[in-house]
């Protein structure tokens, strides 16, 4: 059975949540060989979540991005097919992508399997993460857990929870690695997409955002390092991290 990885969007307001998700999905299309996409593209009578032109091939992609809690059904896919039909150009074929973090209903999957034309590439959260890893946007899961393991080396009777998650935050993609005692999660480590350990000040910011979205990270012991007690400048570390995010956006 394929390994499952969930993605959580750390934004409480619905419109901003959708905008953040679409903006971070731009990383997916760069990994798939496209130029940096445009998001929330206004067209007469409709809005396209994401539009991208392939770097090498004469084609473009149009994507619908859904961060809903329920799997997407056939009605939403049919509506998207209508959008694609209206966007076709003779000299630049359109590839349609439907991204749903919660996946798709069985009937929707079967419907698309039987559709004679205008096939859609359907991606759930785990498939998105796989493509981001293959495109070197994210470090692999085992690399993230190895880095996190260095932070809990001094803790006894703490075991790795294999069900790690991915956060989509305004600062970018963040791996969430859990540790547990017995069957209960007790510790957490946050690792950013390139393999750097988040400074504790940034980790605390992410944890607050998770709490505001109904998450439980604030109830766990955070393993990310505290500021040095020798007077080291944590502001410098935070500034460097913000420069990294600005440079990768």
Are 160 and 214 part of one and the same domain? yes
Q: Is residue 4 part of a domain?
A: no
Are 42 and 155 part of one and the same domain? no
Are 62 and 98 part of one and the same domain? yes
Are 111 and 146 part of one and the same domain? no
Judge whether 150 and 177 are in contact, CB under 8 Å: no
**Mean of the pLDDT values across residues 100-105?**
95
How would residue 157 be classed by pLDDT, with cut points 50, 70 and 90? confident
Residue range 9-67, pLDDT digits in tens: 999 988 888 888 888 899 999 999 999 999 888 888 788 999 999 999 988 999 999 98
Q: Is residue 195 part of a domain?
A: yes
How would residue 115 be classed by pLDDT, with cut points 50, 70 and 90? confident
Q: Among 84, 102, 134, give the residue marking a domain's end.
A: 134
Residue range 83-98, pLDDT digits in tens: 888 877 657 788 999 9
Q: Residue 207: what pLDDT?
A: 97
Long-range pairs, 215-219, Cβ under 8 A, ≥24: 215/8, 215/10, 216/185, 217/176, 217/188
Q: What's the number of domains the chain is made of?
A: 2
Token couple for 60: 């473009």
Are 126 and 168 part of one and the same domain? no
Q: Among 105, 134, 163, give the residue marking a domain's end.
A: 134
Residue 1 has pLDDT above 50, yes or no: no
Are 130 and 188 part of one and the same domain? no
Q: Is residue 1 part of a domain?
A: no
Residue 129 has pLDDT above 90, yes or no: yes
- Which residues lie across from 47 on neighbouring strands? 42
Q: Among 89, 114, 134, give the residue marking a domain's end.
A: 134
Are 117 and 156 part of one and the same domain? no
**Mean of the pLDDT values across residues 159-176?**
93
Are 25 and 63 part of one and the same domain? yes
Residue range 64-80, pLDDT digits in tens: 999 888 999 999 999 99
* Containing structural domain, residue 108: 12-134
Higher pLDDT, 246 or 76: 76
DSSP output for 102-118? T-B-HHHHHHHHH-SSS
């Amino acid at each position: 059975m394929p390994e499952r990885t969930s993605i959580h969007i750390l934004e409480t307001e619905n419109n901003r949540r959708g905008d953040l998700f679409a903006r971070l999905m731009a990383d997916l299309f760069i990994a798939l060989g496209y130029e940096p996409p445009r998001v929330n593209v206004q067209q007469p009578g409709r809005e396209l979540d994401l539009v991208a032109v392939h770097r090498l091939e004469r084609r473009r992609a149009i994507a619908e991005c859904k961060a809903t809690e329920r799997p997407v059904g056939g009605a939403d896919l049919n509506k998207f097919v209508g959008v694609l039909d209206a966007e076709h150009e003779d000299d630049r074929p359109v590839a349609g992508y439907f991204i749903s973090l919660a996946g798709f209903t069985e009937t929707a999957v079967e419907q698309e399997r039987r559709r004679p034309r205008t096939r859609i590439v359907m991606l759930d959260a785990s498939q998105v993460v796989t493509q981001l890893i293959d495109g070197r946007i994210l470090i692999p899961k085992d690399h993230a857990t190895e880095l996190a393991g260095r932070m809990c080396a001094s803790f006894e009777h703490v075991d790795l929870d294999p069900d790690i998650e991915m956060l989509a935050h305004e600062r970018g993609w963040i791996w969430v690695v859990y540790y547990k005692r017995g069957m209960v999660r007790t510790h957490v480590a946050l690792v950013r997409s390139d393999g750097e350990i988040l400074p504790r000040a940034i980790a605390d910011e992410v944890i607050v955002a998770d709490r505001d979205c109904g998450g439980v990270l604030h109830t766990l012991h955070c393993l990310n390092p505290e500021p040095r007690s020798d007077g080291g400048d944590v502001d410098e570390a935070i500034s460097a991290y913000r420069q990294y995010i600005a440079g990768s956006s």
